[in-house]
Amino acid sequence: MHGLGNDFVVIDARNEAVEMSRQRAHAIADRRTGIGCDQLILLEPSTIADVRMRIFNADGGEVGACGNATRCVATLLGKPAQIETIAGILETRPQDNSATVLLNPPAFDWESIPLAIPMDTTDMPVAWEELERPIAVNVGNPHVIFFVADTDAVDLERLGPVIETDALFPEKINVNVATIIDERNIRLRVWERGAGLTLACGTGACATAVAAIRSGRAQSPVTVHLPGGDLIIGWQDGGPIEMEGAATHVFSGTADWSLFG
């Protein structure tokens, strides 16, 4: 499945358990010797929601949230549902080839990002070449957002991994470069931790919209224009984040998971 080009291998392990390790997830995600994806999604039974969703980046690391994957799972379930994640329980409503996801309220304090040292997350006094003074937001995954004049002018493929792995971010970080078109529209590119440049990042769009609304750069709802397509993000201060966008089923198949280690 994919959400605006952010693609996933979704394994339905609700009825038959699948053992997943970092090494196996990385092997499955490999585009040359595996199946290939940005993230691997494992669906398991849940005692507190309709399904439990585990998310593994292409490098095999398990993370707390993925907005695009949540929309895909919502359409797979085919009815309004609660999805358990590391980041909490997410409410979902599927539509035709799209879905709406309600994410938990964002966190802004430096410990919640987390940062290695105390810092004002609304105007961080740091810079990496021309990228400076970002805003940090945790929406289930940690993000920094740089508002720039032209997202396409930023060499994100070079600077993204430098910022992602900086010691300031003990759990690494997702890197967003955003350009305000007007108060209802934002252009965005994302370097995703553990995955690299992606055509779309749902939590990145949410974090960027929240940062823009909170700093007075935009008003809710905001349309976030990503290379893979658009997401509509709504948020009021103190409340949850609502994200709406496409989700696409590409194909179904079977595999012998033991072949991946």
Mention every residue, 6+ apart, whose C-beta is less than 8 A from residue 63: 39, 55, 56, 57, 86, 141, 193, 194
SS3 161: helix
Paired tokens of 16: 């038959």
Is 201 catalytic? The answer is yes
Q: Would you give the DSSP letter of residue 248?
A: B
Mention every residue, 6+ apart, whose C-beta is less than 8 A from residue 230: 4, 223, 224, 245
CB atoms within 10 A of CB 117: 7
Residue with tokens 């194909």: 251
CB atoms within 10 A of CB 158: 10
Residue 196's beta-bridge partner residues? Answer: 192
- What are the two backbone dihedrals, phi and then psi, of residue 252, each rounded to the nearest 5 degrees? -120, 150
Is 206 catalytic? The answer is no
What's the rounded Cα separation, in Å, for the pair 246 and 79? 15
Size (the chain), residues: 261
Given the residues 37, 66, 72, 206, select the one marked as catalytic. 66
CB 201 within 8 A of CB 192: yes
Catalytic residues: 66, 201
